[in-house]
């Protein structure tokens, strides 16, 4: 398992190094921008060695496990900052460390996610590190988390949800509707592909348009595709919304289950971590995600299945749920909606009931078309 370790310094962390060996980066490395005499450099190196040894000897109170993409690191930093703001003992230098773990989904970039198969492509190795005690909590994008959780783990915390909508990004068109027939759109999501083709069958979708946000934007600028869709939540967390051409409404593009939500897991027998996470949990988000995941569980959704679902609180305080399943080619799209009280029991029932309805309407062979 490849892991990289960072301390909880307030500086901006670099991207994951290519060297798979365990590394510790602290704010002390910023001295390189200053001009110093040879004697001063020796003193700095000595001071650095002492500080680094002190950091390594100090046992972190919390080790946060995460993927190494810029977005995953932004989510880990958000979690770290909230923990430091809520608990004084965690605000001390070295109290929180960020451990980068490379997942199967990060290693295999040449194939569409649907072709790789299996669940937990972006979570399995992180979950293993959690169970083995290599990390104390795991920060996930909730839409990557399988509907089941590994034994010995719980996911008691969702941070406040970001904007769930998808962003349209193009250098030549203002919207999907403005793209000429035959234009190629890049996406790794079957959910997006099926909804695009359902509304705009004259467009072409390249469904192995993978990589982190920066990689996809580079491919777009190089003309590999005419447009792409990205989660607006990720662009906001990366402070990259200046790249957005337009934002798709929920009516035009129903989001993925749990899109825009961050989930934090810990070991089921770790009461201290569960207590820390309870202080960060945003209950309205947790209930919405529970409803959507009940819908997904009923449909037994995977990366091979175009499924969308979104639960929100309406103006009257009730839960409004909308769900969708589609054939991969977009020729058939089935939708449903439910309204009920914004409580855990009712919302779980809403999600399950909506899933059962669409499963019945879809019939056998629907997802093979």
Q: Which candidate, 152, 232, 157, places its Cα nearest to that of 192?
A: 232
Q: Which candidate, 298, 311, 293, places its Cα nearest to that of 362?
A: 298
Residue 276 neighbours by CB under 8 Å, 6+ apart: 62, 83, 86, 87, 90, 137
CA distance 280 to 277: 5
Q: Which entry of 106, 127, 136, 144 is annotated as an active-site residue? A: 144
Residue 306 neighbours by CB under 8 Å, 6+ apart: 190, 191, 193, 194, 195, 325, 326, 327, 328, 367
The terminus-to-terminus CA distance of the chain in angstroms comes to 38
Report the 10 Å Cβ neighbour count for 50. Answer: 11
Count, residues in the chain: 369
Q: Which candidate, 221, 270, 226, 224, places its Cα nearest to that of 243?
A: 221
Active site residue 127: no
Q: Which residues are catalytic?
A: 144
């Amino acid at each position: 398992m490849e892991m990289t370790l960072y301390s909880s310094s307030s500086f901006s962390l670099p991207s994951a190094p290519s060297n798979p060996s365990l590394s510790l980066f602290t704010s002390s490395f910023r001295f390189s921008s200053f001009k110093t005499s040879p004697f001063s450099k020796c003193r700095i190196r000595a001071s650095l060695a002492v500080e680094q040894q002190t950091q390594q000897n100090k046992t972190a109170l919390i080790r946060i496990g995460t993927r190494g993409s810029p977005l995953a690191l932004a989510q880990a930093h958000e979690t770290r900052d909230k923990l430091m703001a809520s608990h004084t003992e965690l605000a001390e230098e070295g109290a929180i460390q960020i451990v980068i773990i490379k997942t199967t989904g990060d290693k295999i970039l040449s194939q569409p996610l649907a072709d790789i198969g299996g669940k937990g492509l972006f979570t399995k190795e992180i979950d293993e590190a959690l169970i083995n005690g290599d990390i104390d909590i795991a920060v996930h994008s909730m839409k990557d988390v399988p509907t089941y959780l590994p034994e010995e783990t719980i996911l008691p915390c969702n941070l406040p949800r970001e904007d769930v909508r998808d962003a349209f990004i193009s250098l030549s068109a203002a919207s999907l509707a403005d793209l000429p027939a035959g234009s190629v759109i890049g996406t790794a999501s079957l959910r997006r592909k099926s909804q695009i083709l359902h509304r705009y069958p004259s467009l072409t979708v390249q469904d192995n348009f993978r990589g982190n946000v920066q990689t996809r934007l580079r491919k777009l600028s190089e003309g590999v595709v005419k447009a792409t869709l990205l989660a607006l939540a990720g662009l906001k967390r990366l402070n990259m919304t200046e790249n957005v051409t337009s934002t798709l409404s929920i009516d035009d593009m129903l989001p993925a289950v749990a899109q825009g939500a961050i989930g934090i897991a810990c070991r089921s027998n770790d009461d201290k971590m569960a207590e820390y996470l309870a202080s960060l949990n945003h209950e309205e988000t947790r209930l919405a995600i529970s409803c959507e995941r009940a819908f997904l569980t009923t449909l037994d959704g995977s990366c091979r299945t175009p499924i969308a679902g979104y639960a929100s609180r309406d103006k009257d305080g009730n839960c409004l749920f909308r769900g969708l399943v589609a054939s991969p080619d977009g020729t058939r799209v089935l939708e449903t909606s439910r309204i009920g009280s914004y409580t855990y029991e009712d919302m779980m029932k809403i999600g399950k009931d909506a899933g059962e309805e669409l499963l019945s309407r879809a019939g056998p062979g629907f997802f093979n078309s």
